[in-house]
Amino acid sequence: MLLGAATGVQAKGCIGFIPSGGGGIFWKGVNSGAIEAGKALGYDIYFRGPQEENQAGIQTAVLEMVSQRGCNALVIAPGSADMALAVEKLQRSGVPVIYVDRTLGAPSATGMVGTDNFKAGQLAGEAMAKRLKGKGAVLLFRMKQGWQTTDQRESGFAEAAARKGLQVIDGGYLGAVYGEAFVNASSALVSQKGRFQGVFAPNEATSMGVLAALRAQRLAGHVTYIGVDVTDQLLEGLQSGAVTGLVVQAAHAIGYQAVQMAVRAVDKKLPANRRVTVDAIYLTQENIDSYIP
């Protein structure tokens, strides 16, 4: 479970915040933005969730804790469509719900804050085509079938890469955790050896797994590699040249705006079905020093 933090002794109330996974820099950045917004607006932030993306069942237990604490609003990145009934029950009790990062088919929420993931994928595809001068083939790795955020990034990448003249080879699904991604990426790199000049991975776990697989097969730095999300290892890879570029989300801004939206919903000052999109950023060796999670 993630550690949580209170924002003040005399807070106006509580905002529950349930991420889909808590181990990475992205969710740490979201957490810092949420805590900052809580302090500014006078609300405690109860930030809890699973450590990995494939532990969505933990979210149900955390949601019950949010209810027991009497939180005034909920911000959630639902890890599974199975969360729909529990979220709907909370909404019926009068608690506004703000989705962050994805919805995964859950019931209509009061608001949504996140990245345009199709556009983020396009950003990666266009960067890949520019690097390869519109020629050659790229290996597109996928995370997990039916996962809204990565599905959209993969589709955006494929559309932009093909539109810019590249052949897109489907490398298959790698899985939602690092070890599985490494094994599956390694197998795909062997089977597709010599057929590609670029590689794309759509999220933190797959990006980490692919980087390790490229290094193990001595391909790192010899093919153009663009990943999504950021970790210390991926940043080191970017600095060393093993990673060409990283598409990253403005995590702090997402967390801050989600809490800000939740407070406005509590105060009944939020328009119906409010949507806020935060643009992704393309990191390279040239602009890495300007990145703040």
Q: What is the DSSP letter of 237?
A: H
Residue 84 confidence (pLDDT): 81
Q: How confident is the model at residue 244 (pLDDT cuts 50, 70, 90)?
A: very high
Close Cβ partners of 2 (under 8 Å, ≥ 6 residues apart): 19, 22, 27, 31, 47, 48, 49, 51
Measured CA distances, 90 to 50, 103, 168, 177, 275 (Å): 20, 16, 43, 30, 20
Question: Minimal CA–CA distance to 223: which of 152, 280, 141?
Answer: 141
pLDDT at residue 5 above 60? no
Q: Which two tokens stand for residue 43?
A: 């609300």
Q: Answer yes or no: is pLDDT of 1 > 50.
A: no
What is the chain's length?
A: 293
Domains and their CATH numbers in the chain:
13-115+250-278 (3.40.50.2300), 117-248 (3.40.50.2300)
Q: pLDDT (tens digit, 9 = 90+) per residue, 21-34?
A: 766 788 889 999 99
Q: What is the pTM of this model?
A: 0.82
Q: Judge whether 115 and 277 are in contact, CB under 8 Å.
A: yes
- pLDDT tens, residue by residue, 24-61: 788 889 999 999 999 999 999 999 988 776 666 788 88
Confidence band for 153, pLDDT divided at 50, 70 and 90: very high
Taking each continuous run of H as one helix and of E as one strand, the counts in the chain are: 9, 12
- Strand, helix or coil at 199? strand
Residue 293: predicted pLDDT: 66
Q: Cβ contacts of residue 198 below 8 Å, gap of 6+? A: 128, 131, 132, 136, 137, 138, 139, 166, 223, 224, 225, 226
Confidence at residue 245, expressed as pLDDT on a 0 to 100 scale: 98
Average per-residue pLDDT for the chain = 90
